[in-house]
């Protein structure tokens, strides 16, 4: 799929104020600084459509970007920054859980994971939460430019093992990306295209 147009529509902290149009949408979620906003820029061929920063906590609101005038990419605030020790309900801000629980237009959540790190409890917790509320999700491993291909493969294999140990029957669909190098762009856009037309 080719992205011809990408425009920022609205930012807000209430799911009831998200765009009312019944267009399919795809949301990016994950720990602060994992690269959610950078990936949106990479996919849309923009330098700063979504605001990015080297410091965690840049994205604070639910941001809707309209793509090709017929679907949305949604950039969300990160979790796990300065709130790590609290229980799930407190760790994930209420408006984020509201978004996942109430947004009917959401087709698929993409959970971003830094490819360099071992599986983090907070990500596994969030994935379990998505399972509980029955939101379909994929995993996106980010920052693949930071490690070798061999390490990438072994880290993905370790992640699969961890999910299976956490009672998942199989690894969900996953993608390996680098926003600096454009890695994974075509595969990810083709996947979105595929589920968009189902
Ligand atoms: P919050 O909005 O704070 O939750 O962060 P975010 O997940 O949106 O991360 P953001 O896109 O702002 O990127 C965080 C930092 O990681 C920035 O310094 C980016 O330049 C860097 N970064 C993001 N993706 C990549 C990547 O694929 N490769 C490399 N090398 N750096 C990346
Ligand atoms: Mg961000």
pLDDT tens-digit readout, 64-84 = 999 999 999 999 999 876 544
Categorize the per-residue pLDDT at 91 as very low, low, confident or very high, splitting at 50, 70 and 90: low
CA of 169 to the centre of ligand 2 (A): 31
Look at residue 178 and tell me if it is in a domain. yes
pLDDT in tens, 115-141: 999 999 999 999 999 999 999 999 999
Residue 60 within a domain: yes
Residue 1 lies in a domain: no
Residue 86 has a pLDDT of: 53
- What is the CATH classification number for the domain harbouring 44? 3.40.50.300
How many domains are there within the chain? Answer: 1
Predicted-complex ipTM score: 0.99
Does any domain span residue 150? yes
Q: Is 64 in the pocket of ligand 1 (CB under 6 A)?
A: no
Residue having the nearest C-alpha atom to atom 28 of ligand 1: 143
Whether 77 lines ligand 1, by a CB cut-off of 6 Å, is yes
Q: Where are the alpha helices (DSSP H) in the chain?
A: 36-44, 88-91, 94-102, 121-132, 149-165, 185-196
Q: Which pairing describes strands 71-75 and 106-114: parallel, antiparallel, or unpaired? A: unpaired
> pLDDT by residue (tens digit) across 5-64?
999 999 999 999 999 999 999 999 999 999 999 999 999 999 999 999 998 888 889 999
Question: Which ligand is located closest to the Cα atom of residue 112?
Answer: 1
31 ligand 1 Cβ < 6 A:
no
Q: What is the pTM of this model?
A: 0.95
96: domain range?
A: 6-196
Q: Using 50, 70 and 90 to split pLDDT, how confident is the model at 162?
A: very high
Residue 85 confidence class, pLDDT cut points 50, 70, 90: very low
Q: Is 143 in the pocket of ligand 1 (CB under 6 A)?
A: yes
**pLDDT value of residue 192:** 97
**Over 70: is that where the pLDDT of 90 sits?**
no
Pocket test for ligand 1, best of 126, 179, 183 (most atoms within 8 A of CB): 179
Cα(169) to ligand 1 centroid in Å equals 30
Ligand 1 proximity of 185 Cβ (cutoff 6 Å): no
Residue to substitute in 33, 36, 40, 178 for testing ligand 1 pocket (most ligand atoms within 8 angstroms of CB): 33
CB atoms within 10 A of CB 23: 16
Tabulate helix, strand, coil % of the chain (nearest 5): 35, 25, 40
């Amino acid at each position: 799929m080719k992205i011809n147009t990408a425009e920022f529509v609205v930012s807000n902290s209430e799911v009831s104020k998200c765009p009312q149009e019944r267009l399919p949408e795809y949301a990016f979620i994950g720990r602060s600084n994992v690269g959610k906003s950078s990936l949106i820029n990479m996919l849309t061929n923009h330098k700063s459509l979504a605001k990015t920063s080297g410091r965690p906590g840049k994205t604070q609101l639910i941001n809707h970007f309209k793509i090709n005038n017929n679907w949305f990419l949604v950039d969300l605030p990160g979790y796990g920054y300065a709130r790590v020790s609290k229980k799930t309900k407190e760790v994930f801000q209420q408006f984020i859980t509201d978004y996942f629980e109430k947004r009917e237009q959401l087709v698929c959540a993409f959970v971003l994971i830094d490819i360099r790190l071992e599986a983090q409890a907070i990500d596994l917790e969030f994935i379990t939460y998505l399972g509980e509320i029955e939101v379909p999700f994929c995993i996106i491993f980010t920052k693949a430019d930071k490690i070798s291909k061999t390490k990438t493969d072994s880290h993905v294999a370790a992640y699969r093992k961890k999910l299976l140990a956490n009672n998942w029957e199989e690894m969900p669909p996953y993608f390996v990306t680098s926003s600096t190098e454009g890695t994974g762009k075509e595969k990810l856009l083709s996947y979105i295209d595929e589920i968009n037309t189902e």
